[in-house]
Amino acid sequence: MIKITDLNINNKRVLIRSDLNVPIKNKTIKSYARIEASLPTIKYALSKNSQVILLSHLGRPIEGKYDENLSLKIISLYLKKILKNIEIIFIKDIPEKIEFKEKTLIILENVRFNIGEKNNSTELAKKYANLCDVFVMDAFGCIHRSHASTHSLAKQANKTCAGLLLIQELKYLKKALINPIRPMVSIVGGAKISTKFGILDKLLQISDYVIVGGGIANTFLAINNNIGKSLHESKFINKAKILKQKYNNLILPHDSKVVSEFHENADFITKKVFNISNNEEIIDFGNESAIKMAKIIKKAKTILWNGPVGVFEFKKFREGTEIIAKAIAKNKGLSIAGGGDTLAAIEMFKIKNKLSYISTGGGAFLKLIEGNTLPIIEELEKRSTFKKKE
């Protein structure tokens, strides 16, 4: 696919679709990770004396309805603080045209306020395309969604290319998924196994070991054990059994921390997984299991991590996830992490600078691992017929 660095964007109108969907609470940005990851592409375009127009979504508003709490105004105010010498203009409604002015950054309002965004509207995409000479797709976290500001815009724009972040994301995932350096260890946590069968099957094929935690592990444990009132999906126990029988590299906990009542200050006891009572609930790996898994991680040359292995939000129940996270951080091989809860755990345990790469995408990260064909990637590859340095 064509990269932004392949095209001549000097003094051009460059529209960048970024992923600035950051967590906000009480009108305060709680994590700047996605903004920071988007900055290299924005700064590169500005360095070419271009006019940059920025698109992004934020949250899940009702289409066609303005919601002040999900306005990109807060993002524009933050960018004004960090891009000191750049004129930054926030525009609420999509203009018919924008007067060109070099080295300016124009931020348009949340794309999900616009009717037709989620339906991949060609009409809406044309409005965006009319504003630019070059469209740059840089929102890795959105490549699994065919929306007007992503897929349709990539088709309608005069010239379309990939941004620096998107290229970097694909580069690191390729390293892990195509001829990885072995041993390869994957760690998959989360609540629902029903949405992860494709990913688990793929990872079990290519990994030497796949460690599972959370509700996903509980569903596997329920095949042969009473797991009490633990979070799991009973309808998918048989499907989990088939997957478990198919592979011999699935690693499950052999002991767990359990509680009788689920709340932040509940007291836990550690039990073997075959000895859990009806009134008990699994909330974390037992230390024996976590330490055993940390030893497996220590020997890995390639690591893929998606999801915490326990209720890490509660201080008492985060030790399992912490042991796993710190084992990954100590590893000197290639380590790639992705997913919203994973990012929160990384920040909590202060290991951001210890990992090889942290993906900005959750769903996109998993879809690529699963091997799904993504329409936006296909479109970017089609557009590579354009001559470089146009």
Catalytic residue set? 34, 192, 340, 363
Write down how long the chain is: 390
Alpha-carbon distance of 353 to 101, in angstroms, equals 38
Strand order in the sheet with 160-162: 87-91, 104-108, 51-55, 13-17, 134-137, 160-162
Spatial CB neighbours of 28, under 8 Å, sequence gap ≥ 6: none
Q: Are 183 and 295 spatial neighbours (Cβ–Cβ below 8 Å)?
A: no
- What are phi and psi for residue 356, nearest 5 degrees? -65, -45
The CA-atom distances, in angstroms, between 9 and each of 14, 44, 132, 134, 197 are 7, 10, 11, 8, 43
Closest CA to 76 of 35, 44, 41: 35
The packing angle between helices 73-82 and 33-47, to 10°, is 60
In the chain, the N- to C-terminal Cα span, in Å, equals 15
Sequence-ordered list of residues with C-beta below 8 angstroms from that of 354, at least 6 positions apart, any chain: 328, 329, 330, 335
**For the chain, what is the largest distance between any 2 Cα atoms, rounded to a whole number of angstroms?**
70
Helix residue ranges, H only, 60-196 = 73-82, 122-129, 153-156, 164-177
Nearest to 345 by CA among 328, 330, 370, 367: 328
Task: Return left, alpha or beta for 59; rule: phi > 0 is left, psi -120 to 50 is alpha, else beta.
Answer: left
Write the CA distances from 293 to 184, 224, 340, 353, 358, integer angstroms.
13, 21, 22, 22, 21
